[in-house]
Chains A and B, each alone.
Chain A
Amino acid sequence: AQSVTQLDSHVSVSEGTPVLLRCNYSSSYSPSLFWYVQHPNKGLQLLLKYTSAATLVKGINGFEAEFKKSETSFHLTKPSAHMSDAAEYFCGESSASKIIFGSGTRLSIRP
């Protein structure tokens, strides 16, 4: 069965420093991959989506993710963290007609 592994349940960075949230997928082919963000007491919002075009995907709010087939990874990065980036982030992989989500990574930003 397909699965998505988010390697860190919690990441804490200082404001202005880079962010790296790690995600590994399980498909042997090139799936559609997603990153969603969930702010407190809100629904999930799409950050970016990979669909076998360019391997580097740019999303909203300065986030981007790189698809690496050899590593089955789709890590999310941002060069400089902002206080407003504090949220829960979910990686997802397409599976038939649904998305398999990882367990989430909580991102904290230190002033």
Chain B
Amino acid sequence: DAGVIQSPRHEVTEMGQEVTLRCKPISGHNSLFWYRQTMMRGLELLIYFNNNVPIDDSGMPEDRFSAKMPNASFSTLKIQPSEPRDSAVYFCASSVGPNADTQYFGPGTRLTVL
């Protein structure tokens, strides 16, 4: 099993640019989670999906952030326009079911916004 796959692993962009982060969950997993990790705020849940449907997006910082899951094997997190304070490591995780089953994390995308 390849595990959760995230791309790119590193992204450097300039303020105002659009950024798209990608995630492929583990095959057969029905729930997908996007997290952001910073030194200041720790690990924050941004949004999660169950069966491709967004269930809770209360952690999304503002309208500049959006997430989609068009099918069971792919999700994106988009930031438009990006700002320096968005610099962080973004993790995707997946789990089999919706009831706080064990989450498996991807390696993360390190985003730097200049």
Contacts and interface: CB of A to CB of B under 8 A. Distances in A.
Contact of A32 (B4, B100, B108): B100
Given A43-B91, A44-B91, A99 B42 contact: no
**Secondary structure type dominating chain A contacts:** strand
Given A97-B55, A104-B43, A42 B102 contact: no
A104 to B, nearest CB: 6
A2 B107 CA distance: 27
Which one of B100, B106, B108 has the highest number of Cβ atoms from chain A below 10 Å of its Cβ? Answer: B100
A78 to B, nearest CB: 20
Nearest to B107: A43
Interface stretch (A11-19, A64-72, A88-96): A88-96
A43 B108 contact: yes
A90 B91 CA distance: 14
A103 interface: yes
B18 interface: no
A44 B45 contact: no
Given A43-B106, A44-B91, A99-B100, A90 B33 contact: no
Contacts of A97: 31, 48, 50, 55-56, 98-100
A28 to B, nearest CB: 16
Contacts of B99: 94, 97
A95 B50 CA distance: 15
A98 B43 contact: no
A42 B107 contact: yes
Interface of A: 32, 34, 36, 42-46, 49, 90, 94-99, 101, 103-104
